[in-house]
Amino acid sequence: MTEILTPNDQGLARAADHLRRGELVAFPTETVYGLGGDARDDRAVARIFEAKGRPSFNPLIVHVPDLAAARRFVTFTPMAERLAAAFWPGPLTLVLPMRADAGLSPLVSAGLPTVAIRVPAHPVAQALLRAFGGPVAAPSANPSGRVSPTRADHVMAGLSGRIAAVVDGGACAVGLESTIVGFDPVPALLRPGGLPAEVLEECLGAALAVPTVQAHRPNAPGQLDSHYAPGASVRLQASPSLPGEVWIGFGPQAEGAALNLSPTGDLVEAAANLFHYLREADRLAGPGGRIAVAPIPDHGLGRAINDRLRRAAAPR
């Protein structure tokens, strides 16, 4: 049975004990719920891939409590130092060369010489990392390829019975996975996410490169062609929907939508609602159903929202 733990001292201590035993614990971050395991323990990391049904070539993100902890596992470039100083803790993951003495399971990096690492801002994530005292590998806490979880009940719906525990910290505020930036050799956007690329570019004083990614050999999480998918088929740029579709709208013009990501057209609100509304639309659509999604502006957080929607709508 999967325990649901309260994020108090007792619950966090029990969650940390599960991690020390090589078991898996889901916990909230500001982005989505992560499925955590000891990043140094081969068996624990293998259990993450098994519980999710995740392909082993898809690398994981290592979560640590602060920049000092991150330096024990990766080597920072000057540009990476600048971004970390500006945006950690927060929804930013950096892909950096792994230190020779990192001690991380090779499964975490899928055999690559780099590792994805981040410092989450959520107080429950921070408290758990400090209670555990080590690096935690944590992809999103859902079956691979399906809609990411932003609430504890989303985690239970997909992974109940497969993991030791879920720390229930309520709904995630950002609602989109972290933005991922690599440095090979220049700063590059590997995955749009909860921190808009424009904000990163302003900090760097330069545009982020957008490299071509081989879907069969990702160098960061979240790059598979089909990902974040509900059971129903998804049609994009839909205004309005066709008969038989569950329409997810956006903005004040989406009258008649079953769900509206943001009636005021606020991309921050839309990002926070995206995965929960995809799940709700999937429930309303039923088996073999269809979901239609209104156009979303492709700037700021809209860029990450559209990235998730394109992958949700991709052939499976």
Write out the DSSP string of 156-205: HHHHTTTSSEEE---S-SS-SPPEEEEESSSEEEEE--SS-HHHHHHHHT
The percentage of residues in the chain with a pLDDT greater than 70, rounded to a whole number, is 98
Beta-sheet pairing, 92-97 with 179-183: parallel
- How confident is the model at residue 228, as a pLDDT? 81
Mean pLDDT, rounded, of the chain:
95
Write out the DSSP string of 81-135: HHHHHHH-SSSEEEEEEBPTT----TTTTTT-SEEEEE----HHHHHHHHHHTS-
Read off φ and ψ for residue 8, nearest 5 degrees: -105, -175
Beta-sheet pairing, 61-63 with 92-97: unpaired
pLDDT in tens, 60-74: 999 999 999 999 999
240 pLDDT band (50/70/90 cuts)?
A: confident
Residue 219 in this model has a pLDDT that exceeds 90: no
CB–CB of 291/245 below 8 Å? yes
Q: Where in the chain is the domain with CATH 3.40.50.11030?
A: 233-313
Give the three-class secondary structure for 155.
helix
- How confident is the model at residue 241, as a pLDDT? 80
Range in 162-176, 217-231, 233-247, 301-315 the model is least confident about: 217-231
Instruction: Kindly tell me the burial class for residue 217, based on how many C-beta atoms sit within 10 Å of its own C-beta (0-12, 13-18, 19 or more).
Output: exposed
- How confident is the model at residue 216, as a pLDDT? 59
- How confident is the model at residue 214, as a pLDDT? 63
Reported residue count of the chain is 316
- How confident is the model at residue 3, as a pLDDT? 97
Please give the DSSP secondary-structure letter assigned to residue 250: -
Q: How confident is the model over 134-152, as a mean pLDDT?
A: 96
- The Cα–Cα gap between 44 and 55 comes to 15
pTM, 2 dp: 0.94
Residue 180 in this model has a pLDDT that exceeds 90: yes
Q: How confident is the model over 243-266, as a mean pLDDT?
A: 96
- Looking at 3.40.630.30, 3.30.70.270, 3.40.50.11030, 3.30.70.920, the CATH number of the domain 233-313 comes to 3.40.50.11030
Residue 249 in this model has a pLDDT that exceeds 90: yes
CATH code: domain 3-204 is 3.90.870.10
Please give the DSSP secondary-structure letter assigned to residue 3: E
pLDDT in tens, 6-17: 999 999 999 999
Find all residues with CB under 8 Å of 202, minimum gap 6, and list them.
none
273 pLDDT band (50/70/90 cuts)?
A: very high
- How confident is the model at residue 41, as a pLDDT? 98
CA distances from 85 to 90, 96, 305 (A): 11, 15, 26
Q: Where in the chain is the domain with CATH 3.90.870.10?
A: 3-204
pLDDT in tens, 78-103: 999 999 999 999 999 999 999 999 99
* Cα angle for residues 280, 282, 285 (degrees, 5° grid): 110
- How confident is the model at residue 215, as a pLDDT? 58
CB–CB of 162/2 below 8 Å? yes
